[in-house]
Chain A
Amino acid sequence: MQKLDIKMNINGADVEVNVDSRTLLIHILREELNITGPHIGCDTTHCGACTVDLDGKSVKACTIFAGQANGTTIKTIEGMANADGTLHALQAAFKDNHGLQCGFCTPGMIVRAYRLLKENPNPTETEIRYGISGNLCRCTGYQNIVKSIQVAATELSQQEAAE
């Protein structure tokens, strides 16, 4: 089997790994690099529990080979907190608005919401619902997730205005 040397920047750190050509990015993250925030919830790219932010796009890490991530910049839930160690507005909003229960979908959900708010800083409720429709949650019924994202959007806008 072909082996590849790949380089990625993950959560601000440069990493180099030697991977099998068939290995999925999610398995390299979780098993080689111990980045276990992204989870595996299905086999068919439906659930979004493995979502990472890759070169400015939300990507399901179960549906991309590690080799395809060579040279990319990746952000996972582990890299979401602010530089000073405080929670990102989305993390804080999910916590404050009961936007999670079992926590299994949460890393993917927050990482997806992060990109959604980059692309659309002031989304309507419908835009949020469509924007996270690639991420499944079995516990919350989405209601408090949507609310959390709305609260975070407001908070981020205020932060930006203050800067």
Chain B
Amino acid sequence: MNEQAPISRDERVKKLEGLGSSRKRVEDVRFTQGAGNYVDDIKLDGMLFGDFVRSPYGHARIKSINTEAALAVPGVLAVITAADLKPLNLHYMPTLAGDVQAVLAEEKVLFQGQEVAFVVATDRYAAADGVELVEVDYDELPVINDAFKAMDDDAPVLREDIQDKMEGAHGTRKHHNHIFNWQEGDKEGTEKALAEADVVVEEMITYHRVHPCPLETCGSVASMDPITGKLTVWGTFQAPHVVRTVAALITDIPEHKIRIISPDIGGGFGNKVGVYPGYICSIVASIVTGKPVKWVEDRIENLMATAFARDYHMTGKLSATKDGKITGLSAHVLADHGAFDACADPTKFPAGFFHIVTGSYDIPVAHVSVDGVYTNKAPGGVAYRCSFRVTEAAYLIERMIDILARKLDMDPAEIRMKNFIKKEQFPYNSALGWEYDSGDYHTALEQALKAVNYDDLRAEQTENRAAFERGETRSLMGIGVAFFTEIVGAGPVKNCDILGLGMFDSCEIRIHPTGSATVRLGTISQGQGHATTFAQIVASEIGIPAEAITLEEGDTDTAPYGLGTYGSRSTPVAGAATAMAARKIRAKAQMIAAYMLEVHEGDLEWDIDRFQVKGNPELHKTMVEIAFAAYSLAVPGLEPGLEAVSYYDPPNMTYPFGAYISVVDIDVDTGVADVRKFYALDDCGTRINPMVIEGQIHGGLTEALAIVMGQDISYDKHGNITGGSLMDFFLPTAVETPTWETDFTVTPSPHHPIGAKGVGESPNVGGVPALSNAVHDAFAHKGLTHTQMPHDHWRVWKTAQSLGLTG
């Protein structure tokens, strides 16, 4: 096979479509023809449909549930209530945060939309009819819709089930509605720094409650085979293996008799990390009826009941010298976790990685304290397109540093430059205990400032303000600068676990005799394009073209155990596992090649797609040739075959960073903030597929726009959710969404096998402060220090009015 016409090394590299190639996505041939297979597309013989009766109240005692009329509806087969689940010990389920959550409400409902009964019927219309006819008699109770009132002396007891259990999963609870207090850093040292500083700024900054709202809602199809006793569940699971283990722990079904399948997932953004009552109820209903049972929530249910994000009230204090060198940071967070603590964080971190809050700055001393409280809101607390609580932290520090800049009359870019961690300080140990792996912040911000002609923008703003004063325009220009450092890729097993399961990830590679490969991962794509990009990693590592590599994920019967896809962990963890598994393949291939070429292994060197004899590249064996040999030659001392598995425990997290600059024009009479320009420079280390990276940045920025400019899951004083459908909950259309400009620098991670850091969530983390800072900047010269998000038209108009600008 060596006699093929020789092709150049460049052509050989190109043919692989490996790292750095903007390879077209292999997923799209199905998706563009309507041949995706999402959970609601699954149809099994005799399949039934389940639908929930939900609480209309934020807080109420259930006096009685009458299912008689519902059961009389033609097609309705069963109505499951807590009374049915209790004997099975399934009326509560464990949450990822060490709390329990009601699967179906037993004595009380604690939030509007809470699951009360599960109606099972032959079709979705009959199930909906049944839901209408379940009669639940409630006694309304006082509602807590304000986290600041949750720990008042006279606050009603929300969680009667744990009223006497003052030792929580994260230490002692100090009030019946308190969940935990968690602290990190040097409290005394920080207080001293604040007391001795030339200048201190303080602000209470709320990152409001929002929702990931993927276009596909959550759902599952459970099928218990009554003959084999095997349970198969298809569902919208971002972490299928974790779901399998949880299912085994809370039912009596052994784990090898449970198969969890995540089919195509229509976006996740954190919404599909948790375990929801619908999943449990579909499983129970399938066991009870002996038929497959489908549950798919509708959009209103999705926004009301599964997986809110943020809801952090953050009080920051930042101290500095009078020339703008930061000397200390303290942050206290009041964290509204809703009715059950179902936050999706690594177990030891009840506030996630919020202590990345020192950001990109060399802050000598810092302290954070977080108090979690129960309220009459939906549970969740997921990381909506960010690593755990990282976007909250980035928002706090990036607002605080702007506020400090105003106080000192410094430019926001200048104060950041002055306080950045320097390139030569990496690996950098932050005051709150993280070891940042790599970064070059000055270069990134300089590149960004140059790209947008920052000085010209500021000059234009000065002109605009003068014109505004002269009455020549009613529009104010704001420039938002943000520089973020993320912490992603959870995480090292020594300190990162979920329900005790270490947060490693995995990859299995099987090279077939004719030189193609099947690769299986413990992660699951929800639009990120894993089938395309992970094949590129393998292609570069073992020299087989990406098009000859099929990637499979999401079926626990075939995929190696992994912790799933969220927190930008797929590339840092499973991507590393992929490279390591590929290197095992290559090591064995080298032994086979040495035997084939009758040389010592040490005489061979790897070159793109082959092993060649050092100094004599004509003598070589390609990976395709080696693959066939692995299955056909008896190599002394080697087992036949060419397969490898890697379980990768990352030595550290990765720390992607970026410099974002936005320009908004605000019409003070309407409050409309028009995003004129948005420039995003990202450094995610080694870039696997630039096309996919840019797509991720576009999407994440659009989600940031949605959060900053309108998304809001709020509750009225009666506990009614006021942002619970797409009538109220802002999802930008193509009209509101600006054109995004992308750019990059490359600072590889030193500890990742291919130097990649993860990118999908950066634009949400950096986009929110960049846009919010721009809105604030527009009014800064009028004395605005801070105003809470979202910056929707009404609120921005109110801000303009309060500053006396609305005429």
- B41 beta carbon closer than 8 Å to chain A: yes
Give A134-163 as 1s and 0s: 1 = Cβ < 8 Å from B's Cβ atoms.
111111111111100000000000000000
Distance to closest chain B CB from A127 (angstroms): 11
CB-based A-B contact count at 8 angstroms: 180
Q: Is the CB of B31 within 8 A of A106?
A: yes
- B124 beta carbon closer than 8 Å to chain A: yes
Closest to A37 in B: B34
Q: Is the CB of A98 within 8 A of B695?
A: yes
- B737 beta carbon closer than 8 Å to chain A: yes
Q: Is the CB of A39 within 8 A of B734?
A: no
Contact flag A102-B737 (CB < 8 Å), given A43-B300, A87-B32:
no
Distance to closest chain B CB from A157 (angstroms): 20
- A36 beta carbon closer than 8 Å to chain B: yes
A76 to B215, CA, bound (A): 19
- A15 beta carbon closer than 8 Å to chain B: no
- B727 CB contacts on chain A under 8 angstroms: 44, 46
- A40 CB contacts on chain B under 8 angstroms: 40, 296, 298
- A49 CB contacts on chain B under 8 angstroms: 215
- B228 beta carbon closer than 8 Å to chain A: no
Q: Is the CB of B216 within 8 A of A98?
A: no
Q: Is the CB of A101 within 8 A of B298?
A: no
Number of B interface residues in the complex (CB < 8 A):
58
- B149 beta carbon closer than 8 Å to chain A: no
Q: Is the CB of B699 within 8 A of A133?
A: no
Distance to closest chain B CB from A67 (angstroms): 14
Q: Is the CB of B266 within 8 A of A104?
A: yes
A104 to B527, CA, bound (A): 9
Q: Which of B125, B299, B691 contacts A98 (CB 8 A)?
A: B691
Q: Which one of A31, A42, A135 has the greatest number of beta carbons of chain B within 10 Å?
A: A42
Q: Is the CB of B28 within 8 A of A138?
A: no
- B692 beta carbon closer than 8 Å to chain A: yes
- B698 beta carbon closer than 8 Å to chain A: yes
Q: Is the CB of A144 within 8 A of B698?
A: yes
Closest to A95 in B: B28
Q: Is the CB of B299 within 8 A of A143?
A: no
- A106 CB contacts on chain B under 8 angstroms: 31-32, 36
- B33 beta carbon closer than 8 Å to chain A: yes
A83 to B299, CA, bound (A): 36
Give A78-99 as 1s and 0s: 1 = Cβ < 8 Å from B's Cβ atoms.
1011000001000110111010
- B43 beta carbon closer than 8 Å to chain A: yes
- A61 CB contacts on chain B under 8 angstroms: none
Give B262-277 as 1s and 0s: 1 = Cβ < 8 Å from A's Cβ atoms.
0011110100000000
A36 to B125, CA, bound (A): 18
Give B679-702 as 1s and 0s: 1 = Cβ < 8 Å from A's Cβ atoms.
000000000000110111011111
Q: Is the CB of B737 within 8 A of A43?
A: no
Q: Is the CB of A129 within 8 A of B735?
A: yes
- B739 CB contacts on chain A under 8 angstroms: 143
Closest to B737 in A: A142
Q: Is the CB of B737 within 8 A of A77?
A: no
Q: Is the CB of B699 within 8 A of A136?
A: no
A28 to B36, CA, bound (A): 18
Distance to closest chain B CB from A130 (angstroms): 6
- A34 beta carbon closer than 8 Å to chain B: yes
Q: Is the CB of A47 within 8 A of B32?
A: no
- B38 CB contacts on chain A under 8 angstroms: 36, 39, 104
Q: Is the CB of B699 within 8 A of A78?
A: no
Q: Which of B24, B267, B692, B700 contacts A102 (CB 8 A)?
A: B267
Closest to B694 in A: A98
Name B243-268 residues within 8 Å CB distance of A: 264-267
- A128 beta carbon closer than 8 Å to chain B: yes
Closest to A110 in B: B32
Contact flag A44-B267 (CB < 8 Å), given A100-B32, A141-B698, A143-B698:
no
Name A1-47 residues within 8 Å CB distance of B: 20, 22-23, 27, 30-31, 34-44, 46-47
- B518 beta carbon closer than 8 Å to chain A: no
5 CB contacts below 8 A, A to B, read A37-B34, A46-B731, A101-B267, A102-B526, A105-B215
A interface residues with partner B (beta carbon < 8 Å)? 20, 22-23, 27, 30-31, 34-44, 46-47, 49, 76-78, 80-81, 87, 91-92, 94-96, 98, 100-107, 110, 128-130, 132-146
